[in-house]
Structure 1
Amino acid sequence: MTSGNTPEKFLHGLKESRLIAIVRGTDGPAAARAALAVMAEGFRSVEVALTTPDALAAIRRIRDAAPEGCLVGAGTVLTARDVHDVVAAGGQFIVTPALAESIDVGAGLGLPVLAGALTPTEAYQAMTRGATAVKLFPASVGGPSYLKALRDPFPQIPFIAVGGVGLADAPAFWAAGAIAVGPGGPLIGDAASGGDLDALRERARAFVALADARAGTHRMEATRLEAKLS
């Protein structure tokens, strides 16, 4: 059903790429074009919100045309019916905005689940119900300092910062412990509603370059630490 995309593999991929694109718009075909554009520029995971008209058809199109190694999932997945519809459309992971019944259903099917949560209680409950990771949403409410405070009692929970996270915000969220950030509007702009794809590609390249630079910094730090310990 998930074509080998286990929660463990999905989580590993997020930790490597540090990015997931959030596509939400007013036009399904345009949303599919936007998703494929960001994949072409280096995003490995893209979520299409079910609030987008014809979202399931868009997911099917993206799944058929996605570059090798790229994954497409659905966001705003709330009900058991939503989960089964996403699976039928070829979705490879689900994302929720809150502690919805879709978490338990998706986890029960072996799907990677990014569960929306804001408070410590919600984050803990999301993981106990089978979430692969917690989508801190909306991350802009508390900012990186709030994420850092959440991680102090829950260092084992993988957090993804979503909601109002732009290019300038991403480094602080990564530094605070987010394994990835999920840019939506700051990345997609109006492209998922029929807007400028060239501008979208330029923004996507900027996000990918920033994430790659962050990964390179971490590799250098790890090398220095190994040298000191040897």
Structure 2
Amino acid sequence: MQLDLNLPAPYQPHAGLMAAFEACPLIAIMRGITPADAADHGRALYEAGFRIIEVPLNSPNPFDSISAIRQAIPVDAIVGAGTVLRGELVHDVKAAGGELIVMPHSDPEVVTTAKSLAMACAPGVATPTEAFLALKNGADVLKMFPAEQLGCQVVKAWRAVIHNDVPLLPVGGIAPDNMGPFLSAGANGFGLGSALYKPGQPATATASNAKAFINGLRIARAGVKK
């Protein structure tokens, strides 16, 4: 029997996150959104085709925004929090209706707390050691951060040792026109920040940017298949 040494055992990713990721592998990072605007932007993203939205916890009243977005869009979308730095905050995200924990780091306490509450978790990792430890602790996907520093060659190298079932998501500096090289290297999706949403922009701008990313992903995917 040949052992599959690069697949964490057992790897049982969050079903809701995987379904949303399959529908659209783009995570909208709504850093700086306010509760008053959250629902409108959430609807704009959903209507454009996005199915995963995070509100970083260094946004104004983030738990209220998470709740507003969760109530505004259908249940096939996943809503959660980003920049979750401590384990106790996971409980607050859950109470607000969040289902996803996104982190800039891979603190085991945050990952294991999320999994104990049946939530999805996307820890930030910058080395293979961090990546495999995050998977051992129950990570569903790996947030490769910062993507500007890691680059496509690192994605390619990681893909050789991290099983294809485990999604790799570069985050940082992703634009509608630069996803192709990352996909060719083995990335599966992306986290999108200021190129998608900047605090204070109208929901119409968010809708327009979201459509540009959806179109950019379509073009990038077509290029990879050639």
User: For the superposition of Structure 1 and Structure 2, which TM-score range results when normalised by the shorter chain?
Assistant: 0.7 to 0.9
Give the drift of 1:216.
6.3
Give the alignment partner of residue 40 of structure 1, picking from 43, 47, 64. Answer: 47
Give the aligned CA root-mean-square deviation in angstroms.
2.1
Contact 2:126 2:150 in 1 (8 A): no
Contact 1:11 1:133 in 2 (8 A): no
Task: Establish whether residue 200 from structure 1 lines up as the match of residue 209 from structure 2.
Answer: no
Give the alignment partner of residue 211 of structure 1, picking from 209, 217, 220. Answer: 217
Q: What residue is the counterpart of 1:224 in the other structure?
A: none
More helix by share: 1
- Looking at structure 1, the residues matched to 30 and 94 of structure 2 have their Cα atoms a distance apart, in angstroms, of 18
Give the alignment partner of residue 167 of structure 2, picking from 150, 158, 164. Answer: 158
Q: What residue is the counterpart of 1:74 in the other structure?
A: 81
- Looking at structure 2, the residues matched to 111 and 185 of structure 1 have their Cα atoms a distance apart, in angstroms, of 26
Q: What residue is the counterpart of 2:183 in the other structure?
A: 174
Contact 1:17 1:211 in 2 (8 A): no
Give the alignment partner of residue 121 of structure 2, picking from 86, 103, 113. Answer: 113
Q: Deviations over 1:162-220 (max 9, x none)?
A: 111111222222222111111111111x2xx22233222111111112334555677x7
The residue correspondences of 1:49-198 to structure 2 (distance < 5 A) are 49-100=56-107, 101-156=109-164, 157-188=166-197, 190=198, 193-198=199-204
Going from structure 1 to structure 2, the CA distance change for 1:31 and 1:90 (only over 3 Å counts) comes to same
- Secondary structure of the residue aligned to 1:182 is strand
Contact 2:16 2:78 in 1 (8 A): no
- Looking at structure 2, the residues matched to 16 and 145 of structure 1 have their Cα atoms a distance apart, in angstroms, of 27
Q: What residue is the counterpart of 1:9 in the other structure?
A: 16
- Looking at structure 2, the residues matched to 68 and 89 of structure 1 have their Cα atoms a distance apart, in angstroms, of 15
Moved more, 121-130 or 77-86: 77-86
- Looking at structure 1, the residues matched to 169 and 23 of structure 2 have their Cα atoms a distance apart, in angstroms, of 13
Percent sequence identity over matched residues?
35
Going from structure 1 to structure 2, the CA distance change for 1:152 and 1:87 (only over 3 Å counts) comes to same
Going from structure 1 to structure 2, the CA distance change for 1:164 and 1:31 (only over 3 Å counts) comes to farther
- Report the number of matched residues: 212
Amino acid at match of 2:141: A
Moved more, 31-40 or 198-207: 31-40
- Looking at structure 1, the residues matched to 158 and 72 of structure 2 have their Cα atoms a distance apart, in angstroms, of 38
Contact 1:22 1:182 in 2 (8 A): yes
